[in-house]
Amino acid sequence: MNESFSIFSHHGSKSGVERAAEVIFTASGFFAVLAVASITLYMVISGVPALFQVGILDILFGSVWAPTAADPSYGILYVILTSIVGTFLAILIGVPIGVLTAVFLAEVAPKKLANVVRPAVELLAGIPSVIYGLLGLLILNPLMYKLELKIFEGSTTHQFTGGANLISAVLVLAVMILPTVINISESALRAVPSHFRSASLALGATQIQTIFKVTIPAAKSGIVTAIVLGTGRAIGEAMAISLVSGSAVNFPLPFNSVRFLTTAIVSEMSYSSGLHRQVLFTIGLVLFVFIMLINTSLTRLLKQSNVEEDKQVKGKGKKS
Amino acid sequence: MNSEAAIAINKDSVVRNSVYGKHVRTSDVILTGLIYLAASISILLLIGIMGYAFVRGIPQVNAEFLTSVPSTLKGTFGILGNIVNTLYIVVITLLIATPLGIGAAIYLNEYAKPGKAVRLIEFTTETLSGIPSIIFGLFGMVFFGNTIGLGYSILTGALTLTLMVLPLITRTTQEALKTVPDSYRSGALGIGATKWYMIRTILLPSAMPGIITGVILAIGRMVGESAALLFTAGSGFILPKNFFGKIFESGGTLTIQLYLCMQKAQYDEAFGIAVVLLVIVLAINGLAKYLACRFNVEK
């Protein structure tokens, strides 16, 4: 009789709501897949035409970048090299400092000090990248200019850059990857079981020997992950180095004004048109390919370290 | 090995390992020194960066700086327009990204069965979080700006940022959902609640502090973002005339204005903006920390 109070009358609308909820959640779950697929698609669609128009070899291995000249030339070899060399150098400087700071936080520092330093490092990660660029421009560049004047005094072949050169950019990048390297290495070091340390200490090793011969090797996969993530961050950084690295495309020598893959896009996109613009998208595509390589190697690394952890847990084959 | 030599080595090691003859290994001293050096570099960098920016920037920040817009006519320079733009972008992005991110996390945690689909979603989420912002910027410009036809506008910027912060919100929500004990779920389902009812009334409220922390971190990322916005949201700095119409107009955030000031060598103004940004970032960081702490205590 009174159907509105029976459970049956509600059943229909309720199961409708339930089904709608499931559909909505599934859709938003797959949104990330859609996003990555369309980003890949659009990067390829907008990056590939220029490759064929200019010629794959001419564009990737040409060393003359003169997109606005009367007889334009679109070689991005030096731009690619700059990104590779710059990232490599930034890793070379940033990783030792980062890993040692992580060791300090995880192993050496008294707890109270570590609890002050750790949030400070996290804060370093939160500082907007343009601010790093601003400070690099106003602190590093004048210093570099002084150095440049001293080194190249009387040189007639050197093109003076006012301090906006590869070294400045590398230093800014090194600072920017520090927080990433420190945070991830520290958690990797903390995850090393304490009986590893106790065993090493009990055998008579000093604390430093324990850290460098037991703890760090045991945390190896985590530290490698940190380095790979740092590489990704360094190669993709644009705004911080766009003004610091100079404004001409050159071979990546320390005191040359250089252009990275990212800074080429940032500084030329606004006034580019036609084929020039398409080539900038090709540069974006090259950067995208680099990032995808880094990402896939990262996933593989993480998988490997998971397998290794399982092995350690099962106690089957612990690597020395 | 003859016995004399063995004895000599033995003696040597006895002396070395005894407490009295204990000597300090040189390599230990050097490595300890390096560890302290590296740590102090990291700490000094932070202090130096913050200190320098605040010392140069604080004198620039005053009431006029915060409440006016750049105008050659009146000779003023202010960042009110950029603050409003930043707010617009943050709010719109959150309106889109939060439901999507939470929905994705709920799907992964509550609905999906382990298998290829879940692995695919998790892989793409990882990938999305590894893509540099300049690529998001290019994609946003081509897709939202040209293909969809939004041009340089706040909406284009917000849609681009949505893609960028989505992985962050998804992952933090997933973590928060994982900490909700299974007994809550079975309890709710056991007394007859439907799945959606259980999620709405039990899971989401229990996971709320974690979700909010994720959202706050996402706000921090948006406020500091620049490369993804340069070619999507543009660089407008005029105050909105029409509340909703502004969404389709170009609007530069604080970071973009800072970059433009740098390009024009207006360093004093740039440092003023830098201080405002740093204060916002500090506040967001503190808030996230505070929430995370409270969350842990409640657990």
Question: ipTM score here?
Answer: 0.87
**Do B155 and B145 contact (CB within 8 A), yes or no?**
no
Q: Domain check: are B40 and B181 in the same one?
A: no
- Name which of A130, A238, A291 is nearest B131 (Cβ-Cβ): A291
Cβ–Cβ contact A212 with B under 8 A: yes
DSSP structure string for B253-293: -HHHHHHHHHHTT-HHHHHHHHHHHHHHHHHHHHHHHHHHH
| Residues contacting residue B62 through CB under 8 Å, at least 6 positions apart | none
Does residue B73 sit within a domain?
A: yes
Cβ–Cβ contact B233 with A under 8 A: no
Tokens 């945690």, residue? B109
Q: Domain check: are B50 and B128 in the same one?
A: no
Q: Domain check: are B128 and B250 in the same one?
A: yes
Does residue B3 sit within a domain?
A: no
Spatial separation of the C-alpha atoms in residues A303 and B226, rounded to whole Å = 33
Check residue B6 and give its pLDDT: 56
- % of chain A at pLDDT higher than 90: 43
Q: How many domains does chain B have?
A: 2
- Give per-10-residue mean pLDDT for chain A (320 aa): 53 78 92 94 91 85 82 88 94 94 92 87 88 91 87 77 86 93 93 92 89 92 91 90 84 86 88 86 93 88 73 50
Q: Domain check: are B294 and B279 in the same one?
A: yes
Burial of residue B7, with CB atoms counted within 10 A of its CB: 0-12 exposed, 13-18 middle, 19 or more buried: exposed
Interface of B with A in 159-218 (CB under 8 A): 163, 166-167, 170, 194-196, 199
Check residue B64 and give its pLDDT: 80
Q: Domain check: are B23 and B107 in the same one?
A: no
Spatial separation of the C-alpha atoms in residues A242 and A83, rounded to whole Å = 12
Predicted structure pTM score: 0.86
A185 three-class SS: helix
Does residue B161 sit within a domain?
A: yes
Cβ–Cβ contact A306 with B under 8 A: no
Check residue B7 and give its pLDDT: 56
Does residue B8 sit within a domain?
A: no
Spatial separation of the C-alpha atoms in residues A10 and B38, rounded to whole Å = 66
Q: Domain check: are B173 and B211 in the same one?
A: yes
Question: Do A292 and B42 make contact, defined as CB atoms within 8 angstroms?
Answer: no
Q: Domain check: are B294 and B259 in the same one?
A: yes
Question: Domain extents for chain A?
Answer: 3-54, 57-314
- Name which of A28, A128, A138 is nearest B104 (Cβ-Cβ): A28
Check residue B193 and give its pLDDT: 87
Check residue B72 and give its pLDDT: 67
Q: Domain check: are B52 and B185 in the same one?
A: no
Q: Domain check: are B48 and B160 in the same one?
A: no
**Do B257 and B229 contact (CB within 8 A), yes or no?**
no
Spatial separation of the C-alpha atoms in residues B103 and B169, rounded to whole Å = 10
Q: Which two tokens stand for residue A138?
A: 């106003």
What CATH number did the domain enclosing B123 receive? 1.10.3720.10
Q: Domain check: are B73 and B163 in the same one?
A: yes
Cβ–Cβ contact A113 with B under 8 A: no
Does residue B127 sit within a domain?
A: yes
Check residue A4 and give its pLDDT: 52
Cβ–Cβ contact B98 with A under 8 A: no
Cβ–Cβ contact B54 with A under 8 A: no
Spatial separation of the C-alpha atoms in residues B230 and A41, rounded to whole Å = 22
**Do B223 and B82 contact (CB within 8 A), yes or no?**
no
CA–CA distances in Å: residue A145 to residues A119, A133, A255, B134, B269:
34, 16, 9, 29, 24
The secondary structure element, H or E, covering residue A306 is helix A274-314
Q: Which residues pair with A73 in a beta bridge?
A: A66
**Do A197 and A106 contact (CB within 8 A), yes or no?**
no
Does residue B9 sit within a domain?
A: no
Distance from CA of A66 to the nearest CA of B (A): 22
Q: Which residues of B touch A247 (CB under 8 A)?
A: none
Q: Domain check: are B142 and B157 in the same one?
A: yes
Give the side-chain half-sphere CA count within 13 A for A127: 29
**Do A226 and A165 contact (CB within 8 A), yes or no?**
no
Cβ–Cβ contact A12 with B under 8 A: no
Distance from CA of B40 to the nearest CA of A (A): 8
Does residue B77 sit within a domain?
A: yes
| Residues contacting residue B28 through CB under 8 Å, at least 6 positions apart | A206, A207, A208, A209
Check residue A310 and give its pLDDT: 64
Question: Do A31 and B100 make contact, defined as CB atoms within 8 angstroms?
Answer: yes
Determine the structural domain holding residue B22 and report its residue range. Answer: 16-60
Question: Do B124 and A28 make contact, defined as CB atoms within 8 angstroms?
Answer: no
**Do B229 and B161 contact (CB within 8 A), yes or no?**
yes
CATH for A57-314, among 1.20.58.220, 1.10.3720.10, 3.40.47.10, 1.20.210.10? 1.10.3720.10
CA–CA distances in Å: residue A40 to residues A231, A234, A296, B121, B206:
21, 21, 14, 15, 37
Q: Domain check: are B249 and B194 in the same one?
A: yes
Per residue in A68-82, pLDDT (tens digit) is 778 888 888 999 999
pLDDT tens-digit profile, chain B (299 residues)? 455 555 555 555 555 555 544 667 888 889 999 999 999 998 898 889 989 999 999 988 888 888 877 776 676 778 888 899 999 999 999 999 999 999 999 999 989 888 888 889 988 998 898 899 999 999 999 999 888 888 889 999 999 999 999 999 999 999 999 999 999 999 999 998 888 999 999 999 999 988 998 999 999 999 999 988 988 888 887 777 777 777 888 888 899 999 988 888 888 889 999 999 999 999 998 888 888 787 665 54
